[in-house]
């Protein structure tokens, strides 16, 4: 059976990590049996990031690569019935969320002092002293470097949120008034979009990013719809 390694639910969402939400939704869509093993330390995974899985004795990281693995190994067709053009659009929007919008979320959580104070307690509050005093600062510094390396971290706050606001407007236009991205049934792109939207809309951080997401009624409804479909045990989104 596939073992999914990820942290426990948190930050008002099925998982504090958008990529863990994405992968768990994909696993649920696949209807393959899987078991969750709680693991909060990305360093334990093969790529140093969460989520990761173990299947048939192999460890594997990266939600996108795991998606391809499930497609190849188990013949799961996450995009059944879509045209090549729709599949291309789905991949492009997944990448928009995974590789761009995500980094604005990282900025909002880790670089904004008031959000960092909340995040630090949740992520590191249970570490024994003196690790609790040392690790959070190191992790924050590393993410500051990652934001700089990505490029988005070289912009000021206003620009970062303006760029992310454009992503959200594009996603809102993409979803339109459909139930899911391509109609009445969720496809691969819905797993990615929901992971990131939930991390923005459901998390307890009042940021321009969240306000931008909340200004799109269709995104709020879509987030609630995905949550009700894949994580009914969580109940309605907070707030
Ligand atoms: N491309 C990866 C990204 C995963 C990722 O960035 N995970 C974050 C948590 S949301 C992580 O583990 N960060 C730890 C680190 O960068 O050291 C995927 O799709 O799974």
Rounded to whole angstroms, the Cα distance separating 56 from 130 reads: 38
Q: Which helix (H) or strand (E) segment is 4 a member of?
A: strand 2-6
Torsion of CA 133, 138, 141, 145, to 10 degrees: -170
Instruction: Determine the residue of 50, 143, 195 to mutate for testing ligand 1's pocket, defined as the one with the most ligand atoms within 8 A of the Cβ atom.
Output: 50
Three-state SS letters, 87-136: HHHHHHHHHHHHHHHHHHHHHHHHCCHHHHHHHHHHHHCCCCCCHHHHHH
Q: Is the pLDDT of residue 18 over 90?
A: yes
Beta bridge partners of 52: 5, 61
Task: Please report where in the chains the tokens 């045990």 appear, as a residue.
Answer: 233
- Phi/psi of residue 78, nearest 5 degrees: -70, -25
Nearest to 222 by CA among 185, 182, 175: 175
Q: Which helix (H) or strand (E) segment is 5 a member of?
A: strand 2-6
The finding on whether 150 has its CB within 6 A of some atom of ligand 1 is: no
The finding on whether 123 has its CB within 6 A of some atom of ligand 1 is: no
> What is the reported pTM?
0.97
Using one digit for the tens of pLDDT, what is the confidence trace for 217-238?
999 999 999 999 999 999 999 9
Categorize the per-residue pLDDT at 239 as very low, low, confident or very high, splitting at 50, 70 and 90: confident
The finding on whether 198 has its CB within 6 A of some atom of ligand 1 is: no
Kindly state the percentage of the chain with pLDDT values over 90.
97
* 177 Cα–ligand 1 center, Å: 31
Q: Please, what are the domains in the chain?
A: 2-234 (1.20.1050.130)
* pLDDT at residue number 61: 98
The finding on whether 64 has its CB within 6 A of some atom of ligand 1 is: yes
CA dist 61 to 3, 65, 93, 150, 192, Å?
12, 7, 21, 20, 16
The finding on whether 5 has its CB within 6 A of some atom of ligand 1 is: no
Rounded to whole angstroms, the Cα distance separating 164 from 159 reads: 9
Using one digit for the tens of pLDDT, what is the confidence trace for 130-142?
999 999 999 999 9
- Phi/psi of residue 7, nearest 5 degrees: -70, 165
Nearest CA to ligand 1 atom 11: 49
């Amino acid at each position: 059976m596939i073992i999914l390694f990820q942290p426990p639910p948190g930050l008002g969402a099925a998982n504090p990590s958008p990529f863990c939400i994405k992968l768990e939704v994909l696993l649920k869509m696949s209807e393959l049996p899987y078991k969750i093993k709680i693991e909060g330390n990305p360093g334990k995974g093969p790529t140093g990031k969460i989520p990761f899985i173990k299947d048939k004795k192999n460890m594997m990281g990266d939600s996108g690569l795991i998606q391809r693995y499930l497609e190849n190994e188990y013949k799961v067709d996450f995009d059944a019935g879509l045209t090549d053009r729709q599949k291309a659009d789905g991949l492009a929007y997944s990448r928009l969320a995974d590789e761009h919008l995500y980094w604005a979320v990282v900025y909002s959580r880790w670089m904004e002092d008031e959000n960092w104070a909340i995040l630090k307690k949740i992520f590191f509050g249970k570490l024994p002293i003196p690790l609790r005093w040392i690790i959070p600062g190191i992790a924050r510094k590393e993410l500051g470097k990652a934001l700089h390396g990505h490029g988005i971290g070289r912009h000021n706050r206003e620009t970062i949120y303006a760029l992310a606001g454009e992503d959200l407007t594009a996603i809102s236009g993409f979803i339109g008034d459909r139930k899911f991205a391509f109609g009445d049934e969720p496809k691969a792109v819905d797993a990615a979009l929901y992971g990131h939207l939930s991390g923005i809309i459901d998390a307890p951080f009042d940021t321009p990013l969240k306000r931008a997401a909340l200004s799109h009624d269709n995104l709020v409804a879509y987030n609630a719809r995905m949550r009700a479909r894949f994580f009914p045990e969580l109940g309605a989104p907070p707030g």
